[in-house]
Amino acid sequence: MDITNKNNSFIDKIFLNKWTPVIIIIIIGFLIYGRTLFFNFTYLDDNVLILDNQYFLSKITNIFQSFLADVFHLFNSSAFYYRPMLTISFIFDYQIGGAYPFIYHFTNISLHILVSFLIFIFFKKLDYKKELAFLFSIIFLVHPVLTQAVAWIPGRNDSLLAVFILSSFIFFIKYLKEEKIKNLFLGLLFFSLAIFTKESALSILFLMIFYSCFIYKEKKLFIKNLYFFIGLFGIVTIWAIIRNIVLLGSIPITPTIIIRSIYSNFLAIPQFIGKIFFPFNLSVLPIIKDTTFIYGTIAIILLIILFILIKKKRWNFILFGFMWFFAFLLPAFIRPYGNIIADFLEHRLYVPIIGIFIFLLETDFVGKIDFKNKKTLILIGSLIFLFSIINIIHNGNFSDKLSFWENAAQTSPNHPLAHRNLGAMQYLNKDMENAEKESKIALELNPEEQMAHNNLGLIYASQNKLKEAEEEYKKELENNPYYDNAYFNLGLLYWNQEKYDDAVNSWKKTLELNPNYIDAFNALMIYNYEQKNYEEMTIYANKLYKRGIQIPPEIIQIIQNQN
């Protein structure tokens, strides 16, 4: 029996039907991530983006409004992230499944599967062998370092970006080769979607210029490029104008901030590279201080060796790969607030890792892989299986809020945010002793940690330590004067102490900071009902009604009697 021919037949069969690679990617994708369909929210951003934003997400007409608000719907200088396409994706999900997490996880898995297939197409467009293109699409699909982009609902911002970036680049290449207006239009359309997903999409401008000048190198490119790049810069101009209007008053990103951020966070680069090659020290909330450099050092040495061993170096492709990696990774290092410990969530590798794959495809070690060799296939299968097992184990850390924050505190013990939010989850589980302990650890690590004093205030209020609770709320507002929850909680404290005027003032301040704070509207409605201030009660009742909140029958009756 000829084993070689059997192996050859197996590889050939994968590509006999154009849909076979798609089917394989779908099956593997759901085998690895299927259980995440039943995961809950982690309470890192997903609670704010979805649970606290249901009024906005419930209206399909807010698709257009999404372009006029920052992603967290902040109403002060803290607004920084302009992500309309992420919000729109949540609006679509909400129309199907409301606030139930199943549909959001399903969308995340579907996007990841789509990106994996687009990588297969993209690498073929770069003229790599279809066997290698498919191999790296599968490695991308199962790679544990990308787990967060799939298992954590807000991580989809990077998979959305990847869908649009890859699609734009694929149609850009098709346009250069075929000169069809359809490809020009689709390339620009997908770039538009990419830039309104995440500002790091700007990097594609430089990569397309590099590709057209140093890889495609067609002599008659000037006019074709001119049309495409005029379109790109026109889209960027429109995006920049809208973004500046929406984020007016936020902290400007100056060259000084960019240089300072990249310099102070530069050590995260070897750590990220280490996780690509040796994904054994993964964390849901990694920071530089608590991440080892061992794997990164070994990985960089390995890259250098692989580079040296390349006999015929295609410098243009090698540079293209590393440019891709750094162009999409470094923007994630830019932080407007220098006093906050920077985390380096692993989903930020989602698009940059493609650049490392391009470099690996240029190495002799990868280029000479013999897919007809049984031992080679076993080694490849073993690598994919190992990555799959690590992925499945790691994605369990995203199953619910307590699992998530326990992993954060365990793997990043020097991160105040990890302890602060673990304390918050323990508070929700009524474990007040550990909740207080974790909140205090957070403040020991960072005395100005935002929300930590507010959390302590909630803990003390639940224990009827009203004086201590009031002190904590006021400390929070000294550190974080724009925090609407602290004002609302302080109002509740005053209410329970029958300091009604102070309570009302606190709730009104809450609404100044956040005009969509439902609980504050409700509290003011009930207060005015009890005080028989029916005219003002009606104002707040109408605001709640417009936001889809059910009004108590007795209040509805009073309003009807007034009319």
Residues 6+ apart with CB under 8 A from 235: 188, 191, 192, 195
Question: Which residues in 391-404 are b (16+ Cβ under 10 Å) and which e?
Answer: bbebbbbbbbbbbb
Angstrom distance (rounded) from CA 351 to CA 29: 18
> Which structure tokens are listed for 56?
């906005």
Same domain for 370 and 323, yes or no, is yes
Same domain for 492 and 522, yes or no, is no
User: What is the mean pLDDT for each group of 10 consecutive residues in the chain (563 residues)?
Assistant: 46 74 96 98 95 92 94 68 95 97 98 98 96 97 98 98 98 91 96 96 94 80 76 95 86 79 91 97 96 97 97 96 97 77 93 98 95 91 97 98 97 97 96 97 95 97 96 95 95 95 96 92 95 94 89 91 78
Q: CB of 58 within 8 A of CB of 94?
A: yes
Q: CB of 124 within 8 A of CB of 137?
A: no
Which pLDDT score is estimated for 526?
95
Same domain for 383 and 456, yes or no, is no
Sign of CA dihedral 314, 315, 317, 321: positive
Which pLDDT score is estimated for 221?
62
Asked if residue 320 belongs to a domain, the reply is yes
Same domain for 357 and 490, yes or no, is no
Query: How distant, in Å, are the alpha carbons of 36, 306, 556 from that of 429?
Result: 22, 51, 35
Please identify, among 511, 529, 554, the residue that sits at the C-terminal boundary of a domain: 511
Asked if residue 366 belongs to a domain, the reply is yes
Same domain for 326 and 199, yes or no, is yes
Same domain for 332 and 193, yes or no, is yes
Same domain for 134 and 251, yes or no, is yes
Query: How distant, in Å, are the alpha carbons of 131, 140, 418 from that of 356?
Result: 18, 11, 30
Identify the three-state secondary structure at position 343: coil
Same domain for 547 and 505, yes or no, is no
Q: CB of 470 within 8 A of CB of 448?
A: no
Same domain for 31 and 47, yes or no, is yes
Asked if residue 5 belongs to a domain, the reply is no
Q: How many CB atoms lie within 10 A of CB 68?
A: 11
As a dihedral over the C-alpha atoms of residue 333, residue 337, residue 339, residue 343, rounded to 10 degrees, the angle is: -40
Which pLDDT score is estimated for 72?
87
Which pLDDT score is estimated for 26?
97
Domain that holds residue 386: 18-398
For residue 314, the 8-state DSSP code is -
Angstrom distance (rounded) from CA 418 to CA 438: 9
Which pLDDT score is estimated for 342?
85
Asked if residue 6 belongs to a domain, the reply is no
Asked if residue 94 belongs to a domain, the reply is yes
pTM across the whole model: 0.92
Same domain for 160 and 71, yes or no, is yes
Which pLDDT score is estimated for 16?
66
CATH number for the domain harbouring residue 462:
1.25.40.10
Asked if residue 459 belongs to a domain, the reply is yes
249-301 pLDDT, tens digit per residue, is: 666 777 888 888 888 899 999 999 999 999 999 999 999 999 999 999 999 99
Asked if residue 304 belongs to a domain, the reply is yes
Please identify, among 334, 363, 398, the residue that sits at the C-terminal boundary of a domain: 398
How many separate domains does the chain show? Answer: 3
Which pLDDT score is estimated for 338?
63
Which pLDDT score is estimated for 135?
96
Same domain for 356 and 450, yes or no, is no
Asked if residue 10 belongs to a domain, the reply is no
Angstrom distance (rounded) from CA 184 to CA 173: 10
103-116 pLDDT, tens digit per residue, is: 999 999 999 999 99
- Nearest Cα neighbor of 343 from 398, 298, 290 is 290
Q: How many CB atoms lie within 10 A of CB 226?
A: 10
Same domain for 34 and 59, yes or no, is yes
Residues 6+ apart with CB under 8 A from 252: none
Which residue type does 65 have?
Q
